[in-house]
Each structure stands twice: as structure tokens, then as C-alpha cells.
Amino acid sequence: MIAVLKEGTTVQQRDNLCEWFKSMGLEVHLSEGQFQTILGIIGDTSRVDIGLLESLSIIESVKRISEPFKNANRKFHTNDSVLDINGVKIGGGNFQIIAGPCSVESRDQIITIANQVKASGAAILRGGAFKPRTSPYDFQGLHAAGIDLLLEVKRQTGMPIVTEIMNVNDLDLFEEIDIIQVGARNMQNFDLLKELGKTKKNILLKRGLANTLKELLMSAEYIMAGGNENIILCERGIRTYETYTRNTLDLSAVPMLHELTHLPVIVDPSHATGICRLVEPMALAAVAAGADGVMIEVHNDPEHALCDGAQSLTPEQFDRVAKKVARIREVIVS
């Protein structure tokens, strides 16, 4: 961490500040120029509150050199984390396709789709029971009944299940769910993250609509600080001024996150683009960029999808994508 002192700072003030850093177990190196004094603060600075530091009257600016996340940091955990999702591995060279409908709508729907996507190579089933919708007047999901249908399909197909939580009070309902998804809008719902940190559940943490990679990793850090290291990160598009696509899929997040953290990183091309015709090219691009998995929406009857149908593939389209994904993956790992 670098702190630049304002002109006019007294020696006494400077020394007090240096003492404060030293009391936190940090080393301080001084660079004094004619106009500026620069402090180089070395050690574990993740616990230094940068807001507090900036508020001091003798400080001109503060910049972090090392990252404020620690448990998620690749530097302190060199090897890739590998998650074992009820027998299905992800991360560290293990690639998986997650597929399923946006929302669970009926027993028929979810069982049919599950069998279809499994046959095409999906290892994990997705399906929403609690749906975050911008409008209170739109369909909000089947809630507990949706969870029950997902668990029934799990028993029938053996596929692990991923589904979204929106309220910490629903946690009991997720006991047999294999991966709990934290959606983009809840990425900084810190109370929810803390509660999930107390469990040992697998967490799929989606990047927020306008959150930086650093903030995504700090949200992972909230969960990990509680003792739960079973986290998959998910890039799902960020908000920009472009309007042809719903969001802008930031695929450079994949190699960048792999550099910054040991956690697995997957990509959701369906929500990112919001357009079913773009799901194939962006799924393939995600694999080529090195993602540890892709999550794709599939619907057996898009004409009547209750939610987000515009971005869902038919099972036939998904089958074609899954085959190409496998071939791109072969090139990448070779």
C-alpha cells in the first residue's frame, strides 16, 4: 500500500502515522522528495480500512498495491480449487455444462428438459424456483413447490441441482440442493453472503450487473471469511450503454479471474445476451477463453416459457451447442 502525504505534514504527524501502521504489524518505508513524501506500507494490508486512511487530513492519496482479498487470492493458494458437486467435479481442468429452464414450471417440463439436457451432455441441472423480476407484476417462480420438483428430478436423474436463493430465511428449503446460486442483484447482499459463509454448501456467485471483478472477489471473500470455500464464480454480462444485447458479456473476466483467484469460473451466455441466437457463439467463446463451465438455458416449449424465453434454446439447439462446446474444449486443453 502506498500513502502520499500532503505538503505541510509535520514530522510528528508523519511519525504518528508510521507508528500506527507498525502497530498493525506492517513495515513502513519512507521516500521523501522535495514536494512529496511517499510511504510504502508492506505486509498484510487487507485489514487496513482504506476509507479511514483517506479521511485523515495529512493524506493526499492512498493506493493499494496488493489486493484486498485474501482467501480468494491466487497468490496465497496457487493451485486451482476443485469443487466436488455430489460426484461432479468442476475447476482445475474439470469442465462442466449446466443446463435447464429459466424457471421450474411443472413436473412434466422439468423432467423432460432434465432428461434431454443430460442426454446431450449437461452434468448439472439448473432451474429457478425463486425468480428476481424487475416488475412486481411479473411471474415470481413456484417457490417451495419448485424446489420440490427439482429434488424429485434429482432423484430420478442423479443430476446435481443449482437454483437461486433470494432470501436468507429460505435457507432450510435448500438443504438438499447441491449448488445455491446467488444472483447478480444479490452479489452485494452482504447479510446473505455471511449466512452462506456459515454453511458448507456449494455457492454459485454471479457477478453483479455493474460490479468490478475486485468486488466480485470481495463478495467471495465474505463467504470464505465465514469458513466456506466452496465457491464457483460466474460471469453473466455487465451493464453498458450498448442496447442491442441485454448486457455486455465480459469474457476477459475469465482469464483475468483465473489469474487473480483459484476459484472455478463459469459463464452464463443466456442471461448475458438475452438473445437465443447469440447463445451458441458466446458459449463457444467462453470455452475458448478458458471457462471451467457454461450455464445455458434450455426450454422444451419456448412459445410458452413464463420467463426469459427469448434467451432459451430448444433441446435440439442445445444438443448442437453441447457438441461444439466439447470440440472447442478439446482444442483448449490440448
15-74 residues near a copy of itself, rule: CB under 8 A? 27, 29-36, 38, 40, 42-43, 46-47, 49, 51-52, 54-57, 61, 63, 65-66, 68
Contact 209, 268 (CB under 8 A): no
Pick the piece of the chain touching a copy of itself (CB under 8 A) from 87-95, 104-112, 156-164, 213-221. 213-221
- Please report the DSSP string for 35-102 in residue order: S-EEEEEES-GGGS-HHHHHTSTTEEEEE-SS-S--TTBGGG--SPP-EEETTEEEBTTB-EEEEE-S
Of 8, 11, 79, 137, the one binding a copy of itself by CB under 8 A? 137
3-state SS, residue 193: helix
Q: Does 305 bind a copy of itself (CB under 8 A)?
A: yes
Q: Calculate ∠ Cα 10-14-15, nearest 5°.
A: 115
Q: Does 82 bind a copy of itself (CB under 8 A)?
A: no
Q: Does 317 bind a copy of itself (CB under 8 A)?
A: no
Q: Which residues pair with 37 in a beta bridge?
A: 5, 32
Q: Enumerate residues 6+ apart whose C-beta is below 8 A from 1.
A: 40, 41, 42, 45, 48, 62, 63, 64, 65, 66
Q: Does 327 bind a copy of itself (CB under 8 A)?
A: yes
**Binding to a copy of itself (CB under 8 A): which residues in 145-204?**
166-169, 185-186, 188-191, 194
Written as nine digits, the cell of 193 is: 453472503
Nearer to a copy of itself, 284 or 295 (CB): 284
Contact 254, 67 (CB under 8 A): no
**Please, what is the minimum distance in Å from the beta carbon of residue 211 to a copy of itself?**
8
Pick the piece of the chain touching a copy of itself (CB under 8 A) from 93-101, 116-124, 131-139, 198-206. 131-139
Q: Does 320 bind a copy of itself (CB under 8 A)?
A: no
Q: Which of 253, 149, 147, 160 is nearest to 202 (CA)?
A: 160
Backbone angles phi, psi at 269, to 5 degrees: -75, -15
Integer Cα distance of 13 and 7 in angstroms:
12
Of 123, 218, 266, 298, the one binding a copy of itself by CB under 8 A? 218
**Please, what is the minimum distance in Å from the beta carbon of residue 208 to a copy of itself?**
8
Contact 263, 293 (CB under 8 A): no
**Please, what is the minimum distance in Å from the beta carbon of residue 98 to a copy of itself?**
19
**Please, what is the minimum distance in Å from the beta carbon of residue 302 to a copy of itself?**
5
**Binding to a copy of itself (CB under 8 A): which residues in 231-290?**
238-245, 248-256, 259-260, 272-273, 275, 277-278, 281-282, 284-290
Nearer to a copy of itself, 61 or 156 (CB): 61
Of 11, 87, 303, 333, the one binding a copy of itself by CB under 8 A? 303
Residue-wise over 63-92: b if at least 16 C-beta within 10 A, else e?
A: eeeebbbbbbbbeeeeebbebebeebbbbe
Number of residues that bind a copy of itself (CB under 8 A): 107
**Please, what is the minimum distance in Å from the beta carbon of residue 2 to a copy of itself?**
5
**Please, what is the minimum distance in Å from the beta carbon of residue 38 to a copy of itself?**
4
